[in-house]
Amino acid sequence: MIDRAMPLPKDLLASVFGFADFRPGQEEIVDAVMAGRNTLAIMPTGGGKSLCFQLPALCRDGVTVVISPLIALMRDQVRALRAAGVEAGTLTSGNTDEETKAVFSALDQGRLKLLYMAPERLALGATLPMLRRINCTMIAVDEAHCVSQWGHDFRPDYLRIGALRRDLNVPLAAFTATADEETREEIVARLFDGQPPESFLRGFDRPNIHLAFAVKDSPRDQILRFAAARSGQSGIIYCATRAKTETLSQALRSEGHSSCFYHGGMDAEDRRRVEIRFQQEDGLIVAATVAFGMGIDKPDIRWVAHADLPKSIESYYQEIGRAGRDGDKAETLTLYGQDDIRLRRTQIDEGLAPPERKGADHGRLNALLGLAEATACRRQVLLGYFGEAAEPCGNCDLCDRPAIIFDATDAVRKALSAILRTGEWFGAGHLIDILTGNATPKVRERGHDQLPTFAVGKDLSKPAWGAVFRQMMGRDLVRPDPERFGALRMTDAARPILRGEAAITLRRDTIDKATPRAAIKEQVGEEDASLLSALKAKRRSLAEAGGVPAYVVFPDRTLIEMAQRRPTTLDAMMGITGVGAKKLESYGAAFLAVITGADPSAMHPARKKLLGKNSGQVFDQLAEVQVQLQRGADGIGKPLSISSSALRKIAEARPSTLSDLDRIGDLGPAKIERFGPAFLEVLRDA
């Protein structure tokens, strides 16, 4: 036997992956897996689970077999590993013969450290002997909640993993982001024969994700505004219906965004095409139903919007959790309205579930609505639901702008009284007419203008009453009754308020038009922005040449650090997050050349002509201003841009009046209006 020192995980973390430190929780898990103990790790999406089995696999003897539910996920991981210089391969039904041959020859030569496999392969008789022969010394199970029959991702073949562990008699490390007690118990029972593994439960907070809800008010415009302010960033818009994904993505395209739709009614090939585009392109917006989910493993999704209320807090968190897995800032917006609440209640009531289950479903919906109608830090409410206590977060809409609340006890009692006096047979519209004293024909016909509650609510406007009713539905004080065509009926929860035994506060401001939040601006300061865009251009060309997504070359964070720290040698380059030995070798010189200016190929020819001249800097500043104002100062205008050759002419001639600027750059009125004053300012300072 050769006695060679095994590498330490911490060393490989830096030299292979280029990360200076573990993320919270990773090190303990890596230690346990290294020591060959059975482990179960529950970490939120983006917590960095893969590293927890990849690092030990590289440090230990033999091969680690990784069971993962989706071919696309496996391929992405293997591609990223190979880019970092790690020998890894997949055995799936999607392999070509050559791929499979290459995997086996790497295994036979003892080069391969990680073998990814779909669970279906465990059903084949040849798999066990093969794993024995190649010296499989550890099993890693990704998305371990797929063993749970009650979850939505159940994969029957996952049940074979327990037997595999027994037969191979090797340690098993299971990973998932689903933390509920039942799922955890099922994982222990099915994967570990009921012998509790060493368990790690990471906190659920994703502090880099900004949380925001808004009441629907021309929802389509709300979504379009949100997207426009973030143009060029990758985002997902979740919609309740297939039709909406199509119309919304059409609307986005006609506003100049790059966008496509995705839903379960499309055939598998079209769906896969969208997944690949999303993975590879910068700044694509996908309007999708919740079918767009597990197959996406893109770390740099910058925002997720919900055009309709999600199904539950769990699905909300899973869906927004797809944003910002790289740890950089990400944003979310969830729209909801009275109709969403009505629809969900009715779906539960009209479903086929037994009564206890319906009760539980209403309870879960209440929790979600409680989050939507929260009056203080939204993250506290969210984490509280998962059993975690937290301080106000400073990164949600309610921390940004505290809710304005009012004592609504009186208003709610009036509303309840209107409901009861009309026999619980009417919806909010009619009830509001009664409360505000609007004697419509329907009101008069039924004699409702004779009720003591008629016109007792004149102190609130019609929209204000709408908000009161919506929040009453949200707090489950009233529920639409499907057997009465959605008429509102009082629940037991409302009795104490009706009887004057309890008070209630509601939000007043959700009915005002919210001022849209400014999008997160570019990730670096002004002085580094043009270098960052040159680095991104270099990345794009390398990614295209290699047929890989841009982030596989380097994630944004790495380029940002390069732009800010400006390493001037390959040694210094190695100190940048995300630069490991292999990537340094593959790409180091190319990016270094961009930073030191030795690689003019990343520049536009018009800019290249100005190299070393003072006008070169002026050109960069003008280019920068034009990017900032591309959609106007408010970020929602029609996109306008100016050619690089026009910028060059302007940078060289340096006009000082709008009319000279117009003539020299041949800009025309629209561009002069948008860019003129800002350009003159740049030229004046130059």
Answer whether 90's CB lies under 8 Å from 103's CB: yes
**Could you say which residues in the range 139-168 bind ligand ADP, by CB under 6 A?**
none
If you compute the radius of gyration of the chain from its CA atoms, what whole number of angstroms results? 29
Distance of closest approach, residue 341 Cβ to Zn ion, in angstroms: 23
Query: Please, which residue, 326 or 528, has the CB nearer to ligand ADP?
Result: 326
Distance CA 685, CA 514 (A): 37
326 binds, among ligand ADP, Zn ion, none (CB under 5 to 8 A by kind): ligand ADP
399 binds, among Zn ion, ligand ADP, none (CB under 5 to 8 A by kind): Zn ion
Distance CA 640, CA 627 (A): 9
Pairing of strands 213-215, 285-288: unpaired
- Candidate list 33, 42, 43, 248; residue touching ligand ADP; CB under 6 A: 43
Cα of first residue to Cα of last residue in the chain, in angstroms, is 70
Q: Identify the bridge partners of residue 411 per DSSP, sorted by sequence position.
A: none
Query: Please, which residue, 361 or 556, has the CB nearer to ligand ADP?
Result: 556
**Phi then psi for 210, rounded to 5 degrees?**
-80, 130
Residue nearest to ligand ADP (CB): 48
Query: Please, which residue, 47 or 89, has the CB nearer to ligand ADP?
Result: 47
Query: Please, which residue, 281 or 599, has the CB nearer to ligand ADP?
Result: 281
Distance CA 162, CA 134 (A): 20
Stretch that binds Zn ion, among 15-23, 195-203, 377-385, 470-478 (CB under 5 A): 377-385
- Candidate list 393, 473, 618, 629; residue touching Zn ion; CB under 5 A: 393
Which residue matches tokens 């994982």? Answer: 187
Pairing of strands 487-490, 478-481: antiparallel
Distance CA 13, CA 677 (A): 49
529 exposure class (CB count in 10 Å sphere: 0-12, 13-18, 19+): buried
Q: Token digits for 524?
A: 């670096």
DSSP secondary structure string for all residues of 268-288: HHHHHHHHHHHHHSSS-EEEE
Answer whether 159's CB lies under 8 Å from 189's CB: no
Q: Starting from the edge strand earliest in sequence, which strands make up the sheet with 172-176, in order?
A: 88-91, 114-117, 63-67, 136-141, 172-176, 39-42, 198-201
Three-class secondary structure assignment of 130-159: HHHHCCEEEEEECCHHHHCCCCCCCCHHHH
- Candidate list 165, 302, 325, 607; residue touching ligand ADP; CB under 6 A: 325
Distance CA 87, CA 96 (A): 18
8-state DSSP, 657: S
Distance of closest approach, residue 47 Cβ to ligand ADP, in angstroms: 4
Distance of closest approach, residue 297 Cβ to ligand ADP, in angstroms: 6
Stretch that binds Zn ion, among 120-128, 154-162, 398-406, 538-546 (CB under 5 A): 398-406
Amino acid at 526: E
473 binds, among ligand ADP, Zn ion, none (CB under 5 to 8 A by kind): none
Distance of closest approach, residue 658 Cβ to ligand ADP, in angstroms: 47
393 binds, among ligand ADP, Zn ion, none (CB under 5 to 8 A by kind): Zn ion
Query: Please, which residue, 48 or 337, has the CB nearer to ligand ADP?
Result: 48
76 contributes a contact to ligand ADP by CB under 6 A: no
**Could you say which residues in the range 279-308 bind ligand ADP, by CB under 6 A?**
299
399 contributes a contact to Zn ion by CB under 5 A: yes
- Candidate list 326, 331, 397, 561; residue touching ligand ADP; CB under 6 A: 326
Stretch that binds Zn ion, among 130-138, 392-400, 466-474, 512-520 (CB under 5 A): 392-400
Residue length, the chain?
686
Distance of closest approach, residue 334 Cβ to ligand ADP, in angstroms: 21
- Candidate list 248, 369, 383, 396; residue touching Zn ion; CB under 5 A: 396
377 contributes a contact to Zn ion by CB under 5 A: yes
210 contributes a contact to Zn ion by CB under 5 A: no
CB atoms within 10 A of CB 539: 25
15 contributes a contact to ligand ADP by CB under 6 A: no
Query: Please, which residue, 158 or 213, has the CB nearer to Zn ion?
Result: 213
299 binds, among ligand ADP, Zn ion, none (CB under 5 to 8 A by kind): ligand ADP
The residues binding Zn ion (CB under 5 A) are: 377, 379, 393, 396, 399
